[in-house]
């Protein structure tokens, strides 16, 4: 194949990619979103931002400059009740947070589309590095109103800044520095979480092992029909811990006791989202955060999520230090790579992948003289133990 032919083909591929970019659709100035972005009624945001005042509630904020005991208490409470909290006075240079938002925004807003497409990720493979628009591979579900750039940052063997945008000139340096700062903060937070649940300081980090870190910059263009769409569908993150910064445009929502709470952007703070493997390791005492992003008609929104995950080969199970006769294991162990495959093939659908690991505990009890066998099946859900008792006659009570 001659050079001319191959470059024509490339351009065709680029054009095919370009039609799927949400930013392209938004910039075309349409009044209605294409049907593939319309969520079914039960998934639509319950409170479109244009019509409702912000709810007074916000996730807890933990000040990391306080005494260690009070940090542990606050983090423990936030991890049990929310699975999400802000950290303030976290020690990450504020200028670096600003620069990370700024280089991310510059890629989406200043880089011309043909240049952006040079970094297009492989849309047929899950979590591939680069510029993308679709989280799940060919699953036929409703599309998110979002474009993103995913960077593979840790371990260092996965980090190749040549695959990241070269403009602005500080882009690659900022992402590399940001990656290192987030790793240190994630490790510090897992230490506080271990201590706050009564485990040895390094217990959760040891259970996770070496961090596999990805940094995803998400860009949500203004959407003409925010009441029908989601920037990012409801999910919990699959790894151990996610650290997220956002600009001053609201959009992140976390599920709390059945209500979607909009996380009010807090200047200089970092949002901590517990992810599924931490829920498994803590045997469900700490909960992963179910969250989503909503869109708005006025302003583009940017967020930067830094995911810290186990290696694909790592087996994750409830920590043995948290298991006893009165506190039986609630989850089956899982090889992390299998968890990821199932997440990408079945889709997140809230927390379905985590629920699939719940243990169904069967107790056989003999009730003395009549020697009748009772089968008690006890299943733990995020809302507590759910009891079903079945007698030998097979009636469910």
Ligand X SMILES: O=C(O)CCC(=O)C(=O)O
127: contact with ligand X by CB under 6 A: no
Segment near ligand X (CB under 6 A), from 5-13, 113-121, 245-253, 332-340? 245-253
State the DSSP string of 123-157: TTSTT-SEEES-SSSS--PPPPS-EEEEEEEESGG
Q: Which residues contact 347 (CB under 8 A, 6 or more apart)?
A: 136, 139, 141, 233
- Is-cis flag, bond preceding 242, omega within 30? no
CB 144 within 8 A of CB 135: yes
Query: Is the Cβ of residue 17 or residue 237 nearer to Fe ion in the bound state?
Result: 237
The CA-to-CA distance between both ends of the chain, in Å, stands at 71
Segment near Fe ion (CB under 5 A), from 46-54, 102-110, 200-208, 232-240? 232-240
Q: How far is the CB of 371 from ligand X (least distance, A)?
A: 54
237: contact with Fe ion by CB under 5 A: yes
Query: Is the Cβ of residue 59 or residue 111 nearer to Fe ion in the bound state?
Result: 59
Within 10 angstroms of residue 257's Cβ, the number of other Cβ atoms is: 8
User: Would you give the distance in Å from CA 361 to the centre of its chain?
Assistant: 29
Nearest-angstrom CA–CA distance, 344 and 90: 32
Within 47-86, the residues that bind ligand X by CB under 6 A are none
Query: Is the Cβ of residue 147 or residue 195 nearer to ligand X in the bound state?
Result: 147
- What pairs with residue 301 in β-bridges? 220
Q: Which of 237, 276, 285, 309 touches ligand X by CB under 6 A?
A: 237
Within 269-308, the residues that bind ligand X by CB under 6 A are 291, 293, 303, 305
Could you tell which of Fe ion, ligand X, none binds residue 288, using a CB distance below 5 to 8 A set by kind? Answer: none
17: contact with Fe ion by CB under 5 A: no
Query: Is the Cβ of residue 244 or residue 334 nearer to Fe ion in the bound state?
Result: 244
The one-character DSSP state at 85 is E
150: contact with Fe ion by CB under 5 A: no
CB 60 within 8 A of CB 85: yes
Binding positions for ligand X, rule: CB under 6 A: 216, 218, 232, 237, 244, 246, 251-252, 291, 293, 303, 305
């Amino acid at each position: 194949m001659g050079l001319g032919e191959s470059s024509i083909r490339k351009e065709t591929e680029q054009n095919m990619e370009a039609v799927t970019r949400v930013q392209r659709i938004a910039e075309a100035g349409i009044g209605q979103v294409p049907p593939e972005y319309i969520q079914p009624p039960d998934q639509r945001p319950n409170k479109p931002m244009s019509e409702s005042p912000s709810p007074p509630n916000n996730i807890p904020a933990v000040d990391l400059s306080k005494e260690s005991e009070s940090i542990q208490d606050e983090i423990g409470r936030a991890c049990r009740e929310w699975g999400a909290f802000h950290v303030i006075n976290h020690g990450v240079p504020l200028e670096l947070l600003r620069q990370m938002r700024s280089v991310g925004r510059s890629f989406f807003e200043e880089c011309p589309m043909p240049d952006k497409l040079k970094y297009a990720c492989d849309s047929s493979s899950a979590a591939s590095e680069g510029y993308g628009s679709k989280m799940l591979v060919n699953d036929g579900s409703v599309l998110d109103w979002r474009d993103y750039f995913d960077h593979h940052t840790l371990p260092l063997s996965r980090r190749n800044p040549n695959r990241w945008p070269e403009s602005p000139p500080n882009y690659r340096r900022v992402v590399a520095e940001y990656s290192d700062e987030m790793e240190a903060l994630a490790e510090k937070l897992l230490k506080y979480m271990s201590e706050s649940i009564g485990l040895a300081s390094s217990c959760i980090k040891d259970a996770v092992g070496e961090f596999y870190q990805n940094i995803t910059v998400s860009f949500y263009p203004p959407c003409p029909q925010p009441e029908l769409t989601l920037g990012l569908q409801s999910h919990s993150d699959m790894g151990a811990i996610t650290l997220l910064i956002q600009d001053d445009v609201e959009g992140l929502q976390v599920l709390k006791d059945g209500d979607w709470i909009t996380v009010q952007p807090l200047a200089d703070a970092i949002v901590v989202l517990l992810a599924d493997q931490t829920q498994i390791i803590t045997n469900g005492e700490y909960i992963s955060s179910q969250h989503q992003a909503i869109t708005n008609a006025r302003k583009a929104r940017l967020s930067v999520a830094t995911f810290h995950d186990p290696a694909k080969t790592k087996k994750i199970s409830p920590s043995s230090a948290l298991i006893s006769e009165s506190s039986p294991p609630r989850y089956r162990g899982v090889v992390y790579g299998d968890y990821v495959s199932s997440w990408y093939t079945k889709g997140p659908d809230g927390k379905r992948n985590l629920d699939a690991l719940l243990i169904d505990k069967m107790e056989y009890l003999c009730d003395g003289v009549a020697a009748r066998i009772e089968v008690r099946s006890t299943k733990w859900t995020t809302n507590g133990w759910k009891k079903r008792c079945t007698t030998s006659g097979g009636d469910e009570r």
